[in-house]
Amino acid sequence: MATKYISIQEGMDKGTGKVSLRGWVHRERGSSKLKFIVLRDSTQLIQCVLKRDKFDAQWDAIDKLQVESSIMLTGEIKADERAPTGFEVQVDKLEIVHASDKYPITKDTSIEHLADHRHLWLRSRKMTAILKIRSTIFGAIDEYFKGEGFYEYHSPIFQAVQCEGGSDLFHVDYFGKKDVFLAQTWQLYAEPAIFGLEKIYTISPSFRAEKSKTSRHLTEYWHAEMEMAWADFKDIQDHGEALLKFVVKRVLEKHKPEFELLERDWKLLEPTVKKPFVRMTYTDALKILKDKCKMDVPWGKDLRTIEEEKLTKLYDVPVIVTHYPKEVKAFYMTEDPKDPKVVQGCDFLAPEGHGEIIGGSHREHDLEKIKQRLRDDGEKPEEYEFYLDTRRYGSVPHGGFGLGVERIIKWICGLDTIKDAIPFPRTMERYKP
């Protein structure tokens, strides 16, 4: 009969008796009579003990086993408080699946070396913990939107009209045509679809030729976006808040062990689930920055990273800043009916100085106004004809937002850099491996 392998976690849950496990050698040490192997699989670590007298014929190979070798074993599991994870297996049978070469990653490997060996670093305990949380976050975003009656919808990645400003577009050679670039956002191709589906969302890659080398910019990131017909500005903010609460709640339900491994104080995330977010206008944000942080931002200037950081450190929940000056925001945002100098756009800023995680707005639905805003931005409205049709045939109030998935992973996991929030980070300096 074929051996039934169980995960290390399942073995520990069982606690006693015979178990068959398989995985990789995480640590090893030994003497002439004994070999200790810490075995790793996707669920856990466990100490395994091999006695020479049981493995005489195999001892030479066992003695030479290096970290990251893949093995399968059968033995008796029992609780042992001296073992690193509280359990130990006395091994009766061992099969070496692949004896690893000398592993190029050690304890004191530099950050650059780790980046060069990203494909191997992915199996580290730290990256595995982050990637488990990442998986839950993607699932929770889906679950939230499906639960709220949104349809999943997909926009093209090759695009020919810009939406968030032309400066950070990635141009591609499209059979010799040069006016083609990679999506910065799904938005201009999502708005046409709300006339059929009304409520839609996606999670898809977006691309930005960011020349900034910061801890929060990637050139390729995963973008969760929603668009909704008949929405007013408050609906957009409410969905953003409810989505973040939902995602953080799901992660907290499931990932205490991963937070422990990452040394992330998960209690800092609880207010996000339990308390209402702070909402303030841009103008109020400037007042608070002046009064509480001694920072003087002239009205009309966009908030910089340092100002966002200071502002969010005053609160333990995300801050939604609304009604930015028209000049600093994109052409499609509705002017505030009470004050046309500002627009109905919002940025969600994460606590602890992690910065902008969501950008959203109510969309201008008046054809002439939107054409004028495009001209003001130096764009040619003729090139936006397909998009402008959305304002010709049954235009409705609507809005949406985009959430940078790696930005919330960085915040939720408490990471120093966004690069650890994605398996193979793409930045200005790195596109390999």
Q: Which of 57, 53, 63 is nearest to 91 (CA)?
A: 53
Question: Which of ligand 4AD, Mg ion, none does residue 360 bind (CB under 5 to 8 Å by kind)?
Answer: ligand 4AD
The stretch among 19-27, 176-184, 351-359, 388-396 that binds Mg ion (CB under 5 A) is 351-359
According to DSSP, the residues that pair with 203 across neighbouring strands are 224
Give the one residue of 141, 231, 342, 358 binding ligand 4AD; rule: CB under 6 A: 358
* Beta carbon of residue 345, minimum distance to ligand 4AD (angstroms, whole number): 9
According to DSSP, the residues that pair with 402 across neighbouring strands are 225, 359
Residues whose CB is less than 8 angstroms from the CB of residue 310 and which lie 6 or more positions away in sequence, other chains included = 289, 293, 295
Binding-site residue total for ligand 4AD (CB under 6 A)? 24
Question: Which of Mg ion, ligand 4AD, none does residue 185 bind (CB under 5 to 8 Å by kind)?
Answer: ligand 4AD
CA distance to 105, 117, 153, 430, per residue, from 109 (Å):
6, 10, 43, 18
Collapsed DSSP state (helix, strand, coil) of residue 415: coil
Distance CA 204, CA 407 (A): 14
| Identity of the residue, 23 or 402, whose beta carbon is nearer to ligand 4AD in the bound complex | 402
CA distance to 45, 386, 418, 419, per residue, from 118 (Å):
21, 42, 14, 11
DSSP designation for 334: P
* Beta carbon of residue 236, minimum distance to Mg ion (angstroms, whole number): 14
- The CA angle 38-42-44, to the nearest 5 degrees, is 45
Regarding 359 and contact with Mg ion (CB under 5 A), the answer is yes
Which run of H or E residues covers position 321?
strand 319-322
Regarding 55 and contact with ligand 4AD (CB under 6 A), the answer is no
Q: Which of 42, 96, 95 is nearest to 69 (CA)?
A: 96
User: Is beta strand 87-98 parallel, antiparallel or unpaired with respect to 151-152?
Assistant: unpaired
| Identity of the residue, 10 or 302, whose beta carbon is nearer to Mg ion in the bound complex | 302
| Identity of the residue, 19 or 346, whose beta carbon is nearer to Mg ion in the bound complex | 346
Give the one residue of 69, 187, 202, 237 binding ligand 4AD; rule: CB under 6 A: 187
Distance CA 138, CA 409 (A): 10
The stretch among 182-190, 287-295, 308-316, 388-396 that binds ligand 4AD (CB under 6 A) is 182-190
| Identity of the residue, 266 or 401, whose beta carbon is nearer to Mg ion in the bound complex | 401
The stretch among 130-138, 217-225, 295-303, 425-433 that binds ligand 4AD (CB under 6 A) is 217-225
Question: Which of ligand 4AD, Mg ion, none does residue 329 bind (CB under 5 to 8 Å by kind)?
Answer: none
Q: Which two tokens stand for residue 86?
A: 């509280």
Regarding 402 and contact with Mg ion (CB under 5 A), the answer is no
Regarding 359 and contact with ligand 4AD (CB under 6 A), the answer is yes
Distance CA 216, CA 210 (A): 10
By CB under 6 A, what part of segment 364-403 binds ligand 4AD?
Answer: 400-403
* Beta carbon of residue 338, minimum distance to Mg ion (angstroms, whole number): 23
Regarding 223 and contact with ligand 4AD (CB under 6 A), the answer is yes
* Beta carbon of residue 226, minimum distance to ligand 4AD (angstroms, whole number): 7
Regarding 240 and contact with Mg ion (CB under 5 A), the answer is no
Question: Which of ligand 4AD, Mg ion, none does residue 55 bind (CB under 5 to 8 Å by kind)?
Answer: none
| Identity of the residue, 50 or 203, whose beta carbon is nearer to ligand 4AD in the bound complex | 203
Question: Which of ligand 4AD, Mg ion, none does residue 406 bind (CB under 5 to 8 Å by kind)?
Answer: ligand 4AD
Regarding 163 and contact with ligand 4AD (CB under 6 A), the answer is yes
User: Is beta strand 151-152 parallel, antiparallel or unpaired with respect to 199-207?
Assistant: parallel
| Identity of the residue, 345 or 351, whose beta carbon is nearer to Mg ion in the bound complex | 345
Binding-site residue total for Mg ion (CB under 5 A)? 1
Give the distance, in angstroms, between the CA of residue 355 and the centroid of all CA atoms in the same chain: 14
Angle, helices 233-254/405-413, rounded to nearest 10 degrees: 50
* Beta carbon of residue 295, minimum distance to Mg ion (angstroms, whole number): 20
* Beta carbon of residue 305, minimum distance to ligand 4AD (angstroms, whole number): 12
| Identity of the residue, 23 or 318, whose beta carbon is nearer to ligand 4AD in the bound complex | 318
According to DSSP, the residues that pair with 37 across neighbouring strands are 28, 48
* Beta carbon of residue 360, minimum distance to ligand 4AD (angstroms, whole number): 5
DSSP designation for 384: G
CA distance to 72, 74, 78, per residue, from 19 (Å):
11, 6, 10
Cis before 433 (ω within 30)? yes
**108, HSE (Cβ side, Cα atoms, 13 Å):** 0
Regarding 87 and contact with ligand 4AD (CB under 6 A), the answer is no
Using CB under 6 A, list all residues that contact ligand 4AD: 163-164, 184-185, 187, 208, 210, 217-218, 221, 223, 225, 356-360, 400-404, 406-407
Using CB under 5 A, list all residues that contact Mg ion: 359
